[in-house]
Amino acid sequence: MKNVYLLGATGSIGEQTIDIIQEFPEEFNLIAISGYSSLEKIIEIGSKFNLQLIAVKDEADASVIKAVFPDAKIVFGPSGLSDLAVYNKDDKEGILINALVGMVGLKPTIDAIKIDRDILLANKETLVVGGHLIKELLKIHPVKLYPIDSEHNAIWQIIQGEDTNTIKQLIITASGGPFRDLTRDKLKNVTLDEALNHPNWSMGKKITIDSATMMNKGFEIIEAAYLFDIDIDRIKPIIQEDSIIHSMVEYIDNSIVAQMATPDMKLPIIYAMFYPKRVDSVIEPLDFNKISNINFKEVDYKRYPLLQLAIECYKKGGSNRTVLNAANEAAVSLFLNQKISFLDIESIVKSAVDNHKTVIDPSLEEIYEIDQLTKDSIFKRYNK
Ligand code: NDP
Ligand code: MG
């Protein structure tokens, strides 16, 4: 039985993780969760599990939750997320599942690595912003960092038993998002509801918008570069509209191995939770009799400038990834609040990156400082 410490329990990945824990009560014991704006969901989860720690948004919420769960330890704010990540620090079998959205997930990930706790990572912004810090820490801490993101989980499945020196390139598939058939001119007028209507996946709002701009694919390429320690030029995106192939690896003998499954995040979550064991499926099997073809389309970088920008920021290095992510978080939040148009997301992010003076190898403190400054200046300008 493994103890699970779950950051972001009230979100899309968090809820699916909880479903899995409920399906395998002999294998996992949920003892700590965090939530942010969804107090009701926190209470609901708390009523189903014997939680020892609950992390909430602020002090006011903490007193509400304390009254409902007087025996649990209640923590709040960013430090509460860290408290959760290192709770029961001597529990060497326990796993931290990081299903937070945004770079708020970085510090708790680092804290967990420092106590040698294994991590299942959905929170890709952690690697986008702090990949260089995490890479260094993993050299001295024997921690397993397992990817939940479907593309990275696919690659991880594919490379089992292979010599990673024989990898020629990683081929990351992309659905192209809800606007893949629109011209750039038509993108000027798309609405929030249209942007939130992803063709293949049901996910949290932020990643759904990131999929529409393809910033998500840029983030995933950076994520893959860190996770698999591979040169970014050897990671290629390709449009695969149905999201049946979750990614591929091409080896030096030109053999290409793909991982396929029904698009359902429960598969990557469960694979990471049980690794190296496979368990009976909780998802619908693929039925090839119902699939007439699997299409591929080249990615047009002009069509998706944020994808291109993400790769450039990685290559430029230093704090450019911090600014890229911070500006994107701010712009997506403004778009979700209907303060800006869809294409404004691109221009806001590009202008923040263009105006940034790179800090080489930023420390965690510098990252948080640059993140805050970037977000503040964007919100000040647009949040009227
Ligand atoms: P959601 O928005 O559905 O959930 C995010 C979680 O983080 C919620 O529990 C939310 O709490 C919490 N949260 C939000 N803001 C804060 C904050 N400032 N401080 C503390 N907690 C906060 O996101 P997803 O589940 O969709 O995504 C989670 C991560 O997984 C993201 O990094 C995403 O890119 C990645 N991912 C998601 C996939 C998916 O299918 N959803 C697929 C692949 C990767 P509350 O809801 O209570 O406000
Ligand atoms: Mg993904």
Q: Atom 22 of ligand 1 has which residue's CA nearest to it? A: 36
Chain CA centroid to CA 171, Å: 18
CATH architecture of 2-147: 3-Layer(aba) Sandwich (3.40)
pLDDT computed for residue 328 by the predictor: 98
- Band (pLDDT 50/70/90 cuts) for residue 200 is confident
Could you report the per-residue pLDDT of 22-71, keeping only the tens digit for each? 999 999 999 999 999 999 999 999 999 999 999 999 999 999 999 999 99
Does the N-terminal peptide bond of residue 276 adopt cis geometry, omega within 30 degrees of 0?
yes
Q: Among residues 75, 71, 72, 101, which one has the least CA distance to residue 86?
A: 75
Distances from the Cα of 215 to the Cα of 65, 88, 159, 195, 263, angstroms: 36, 36, 26, 13, 20
pLDDT computed for residue 213 by the predictor: 97
Find out whether the beta carbon of 14 lies less than 6 Å from any atom of ligand 1: yes
Mean pLDDT, rounded, for 127-152? 98
- How far, in Å, is the centroid of ligand 1 from the Cα of 291? 32
Q: What is the mean pLDDT of the chain?
A: 97
For the CA of 41, the closest atom of ligand 1 is: 47
What are the residue ranges spanned by the domains of the chain? 2-147, 152-316
**At CA 202, angle to CA 199 and CA 203, rounded to 5?**
120
Could you report the per-residue pLDDT of 68-108, keeping only the tens digit for each? 999 999 999 999 999 999 999 999 899 999 999 999 999 99
**Rounded to 5 degrees, what are φ and ψ at 146?**
-100, 130
- Band (pLDDT 50/70/90 cuts) for residue 292 is confident
Find out whether the beta carbon of 101 lies less than 6 Å from any atom of ligand 1: yes
pLDDT computed for residue 95 by the predictor: 98
pLDDT computed for residue 37 by the predictor: 97
pLDDT computed for residue 282 by the predictor: 83
Best probe residue, ligand 1, of 5, 13, 328 (max atoms within 8 Å of C-beta): 13
By the 10 Å C-beta count (0-12 exposed, 13-18 middle, 19+ buried), 361 is classed as exposed
Find out whether the beta carbon of 346 lies less than 6 Å from any atom of ligand 1: no
Beta strand 53-56 pairing with 235-239: unpaired
Which token pair is 331?
């712009």
What is the rounded CA–CA span in Å between residue 321 and residue 309?
Answer: 10
- Band (pLDDT 50/70/90 cuts) for residue 352 is very high
pLDDT computed for residue 313 by the predictor: 98
The ligand with the least distance to the CA atom of 217 is 2
pLDDT computed for residue 201 by the predictor: 84
Find out whether the beta carbon of 36 lies less than 6 Å from any atom of ligand 1: yes
Q: Atom 43 of ligand 1 has which residue's CA nearest to it? A: 149
